[in-house]
Amino acid sequence: MNKKIEKKSSVKIRKHWTKNDTELTVLALPTTIWFVLFSFLPMFGLIIAFKNYKVIGGKNFIYNVIHSEWSGLKNFQFLIKSNDLYTILRNTILYNLAFIVLGTILAVALAVMIDLLRSKRRSKVYQTLMFFPYFMSWVVAAYFLDAFLNQDKGLLNNTLRGSGNEPVQWYMKASVWPFILIFMYLWKTTGYNMVIYLSSISGIDTTLYEAAVVDGASKRQQVRYITLPGLKNVVVMMFILNVGKVFYSDFGLFYQLSQGATGSIFSTTATIDTYVFNALQSATPIGMTSAATFFQSVACCITILLANWIVKKMDPDSAII
Amino acid sequence: MKKRKEENSVSNLNMISKKTDISFNIIFIVLALICIVPVIFIFMISLSSEQSIQTNGYRMIPEAFSLDSYIFIFREGQMILRSLGISVLVTVVGTILGVILTTLMGYVLSRSEFKLNGFFTMVVFIPMIFNGGMISQYVVNTQFMHLKDTIWALILPLCVNSFNIVICKTFFKSNIPDSVIESAQIDGASQFTIFRKIALPLSKPMLATIALFLTFGYWNDWFQSSLYITNTKLFSLQALLDHVQRNIEMMANNPSLGVNMQQYMNSMPKEGARMAMAIIIIIPIACTYPFFQKYFISGLTVGAVKG
């Protein structure tokens, strides 16, 4: 869409290069340099997934990339053969789907509810308090969690001991982690998402509600036929944004809370990102892990475009690109 | 009089029943508690005496209160105070640099008569849907730009993102009339003067939004440190917190590491002091975010408008 308009206008306006254009180019230059260094050069760097990347002393990165041997798909074969690929791919996708579905339902429901509260002052207080976890980093959140789950001193184990039960080694028990991670994700993001949805509820034309009241619609009917349809666009937009990131995981969530996402809870906490990060810290060849990130980048790009394309087919107004 | 009565009955129809209102309130009180209880809990631990943590574990209401953790931090915690300094420095420099780079690009993209507009839009747009991933970013930053173990590794990678630029562009486009810019041009102002003297002063709410996004981003960042920083002198508070936690885990997992490690651990902040560090990170946020909340929301809704 955008492209078409630009093409048209550039044909129409194209006269000659003015002083104005020179000045604007100069203004755009610093940020463009940033994008080249921190965004486009790493894109070029993705080639190392197909190379036997070696660092040659005294030469810079671009020289190294160009002069490393091609290794074809060897890095990918290596990745596919390792048993971890299935686990990390499954975890990444399933967690993201759970986050998208549960996160959206919970946040929309709460936004509708908080909008209905009679006291606006209380509503503001609840919003402020529930927004709070969003501003915590995952490192701090990991401290919170540890205070509850710690093996020796944590509140949960203390309570278990107090009531005469065996304490549980939470950080070793793989089966509880899906629940912990989903809970913590909702804990951190629900307030924030609720506020986003709430701000679009307050953007709904109030005359619609007035008309509904005149027609004798109950509050429940108003929610069903005015509020929820009014939220559709923003829900779809958030959906596209999240689906686009389905191959990415919120690294801090998985890595910090599970204290490394390794060991006996690897099977339920490791995602592509924690796997790559752990590999980067160890002696694993860089080529192999870069195969994993190459797959991630390409898959992410495809899912964003696909999600956007599907939405565009269904409802052109909701698409974002 | 009659009219008012009618209005009253209408607004009554437009409200939920008292019963529902009460049950909704209870739900929100519970949820709000879930959101803030962990902070109170950590705060209580930081006020417990080391003795009572050792014997009773973490408790909501400690057996013995003490301010030792905070006294320790301010008297002996040079490492902690240093990392607080790094955190502040990175946040301030990063935010200023980020705001400059973001608004410059946002302004350029908002000028639709610019001949390279399409090109620069692509420069900003492509990174939104495609990126090089963690490994190649790491390789570029360490082997090409040599950022490893420098403070710039904490600042540069985070200072620009496409989302902020789109917010900026949308704001300039809808809030600064073309006629103002044209008349300034007729008066002989260069684009830089227009940007500095007209565009920026008219965009204070947007500047606040971008600056806030960046400030919270920098203050809460630990990931860049964990990738690029090995020198403990360059640790930010978050990185130090992360580092201490990981070393404690390592100790717990490998009791055989021996005396050296044990000595090293003894020099690390104790339980209470660690929790006090977390509190030091949280306090500036907790004190300021209620006032800035509205900028966050307005920023998000502006960003939601199709660019």
pLDDT, tens digit (0-9, with 9 covering 90-100), for B33-48? 999 999 999 999 888 8
Q: Is B305 an 8 Å CB contact of chain A? A: no
Contacts of A254 in chain B (CB under 8 A): none
Farthest-apart Cα atoms in chain B, separation: 87
Q: Distance (Å) from the C-alpha of residue A92 to the closest C-alpha of chain B?
A: 15
Region B283-292: mean pLDDT is: 86
Residue in B10, B28, B42 nearest the CB of A143: B42
Is residue B267 over pLDDT 80? no
Dihedral angle at the C-alpha atoms of A44, A49, A54, A57, nearest 10 degrees? 20
Please state, as a whole number, how many other Cβ atoms lie within 10 Å of the Cβ of residue A149. Answer: 20
Is residue B4 over pLDDT 70? no
Domain boundaries B77-268, corresponding CATH code = 1.10.3720.10
Q: Which residues of chain A have pLDDT under 70?
A: 1-15, 56-59, 318-321
Is residue B227 over pLDDT 60? yes
Q: Do A143 and B245 touch (CB under 8 A)?
A: yes
pLDDT, tens digit (0-9, with 9 covering 90-100), for B147-197? 999 999 999 999 998 989 988 998 898 888 888 888 998 898 899 999 999
Domains of chain B, residue spans:
2-71, 77-268
What is the phi/psi pair of residue B177, to 5°?
-65, 140
Which residues 68-97 of B are in CB contact (within 8 Å) with A? none
Beta-carbon contacts of A255 under 8 Å, excluding residues fewer than 6 positions away, are: A138, A261, A273, A274, A277
Weakest mean pLDDT among B166-170, B209-213, B271-275: B271-275
Average pLDDT, chain B: 83
Please state, as a whole number, how many other Cβ atoms lie within 10 Å of the Cβ of residue B20. Answer: 16
Test the A interface: residue of B136, B164, B285, B287 with most A CBs within 10 Å = B136
Please state, as a whole number, how many other Cβ atoms lie within 10 Å of the Cβ of residue B99. Answer: 21
- Cα–Cα distance for residue pair B187/A295, rounded to 1 Å: 54
Q: Is A133 an 8 Å CB contact of chain B? A: yes
Is residue B251 over pLDDT 90? no
Q: What is the pLDDT of residue B5?
A: 47
User: What pLDDT band is residue B269 in, cutting at 50, 70 and 90?
Assistant: low
Q: Is B287 an 8 Å CB contact of chain A? A: no
Q: Is A56 an 8 Å CB contact of chain B? A: no
Q: Report the candidate in A246, A296, A303, A297 with the shortest Cα–Cα distance to residue A93.
A: A246
Q: Distance (Å) from the C-alpha of residue B118 to the closest C-alpha of chain A?
A: 6
ipTM of this predicted structure: 0.85
Yes or no: say if A216 and A203 are a contact pair by the CB < 8 Å rule.
no
- Cα–Cα distance for residue pair A292/B134, rounded to 1 Å: 10
> Which residue did the predictor score with more confidence, A246 or B258?
A246
Q: Is A310 an 8 Å CB contact of chain B? A: no
> Which residue did the predictor score with more confidence, A145 or B293?
A145
Q: Do B191 and A136 touch (CB under 8 A)?
A: no
Contacts of B238 in chain A (CB under 8 A): 137, 139-140
* Domains along the sequence of chain A with CATH: 17-72 (no CATH), 77-314 (1.10.3720.10)
Q: Taking the mean position of all CA atoms in its chain, how far away is CA B67? A: 28
Q: What is the pLDDT of residue B306?
A: 40
Which residues 67-96 of A are in CB contact (within 8 Å) with B? none
Residue in B130, B145, B289 nearest the CB of A37: B145
Beta-carbon contacts of A95 under 8 Å, excluding residues fewer than 6 positions away, are: A178, A181, A182, A249, A254, A271
Contacts of A300 in chain B (CB under 8 A): 129-131
Q: What is the pLDDT of residue A1?
A: 45
Q: Do A27 and B108 touch (CB under 8 A)?
A: yes
Q: What is the pLDDT of residue B307?
A: 36
- Cα–Cα distance for residue pair A264/A172, rounded to 1 Å: 6
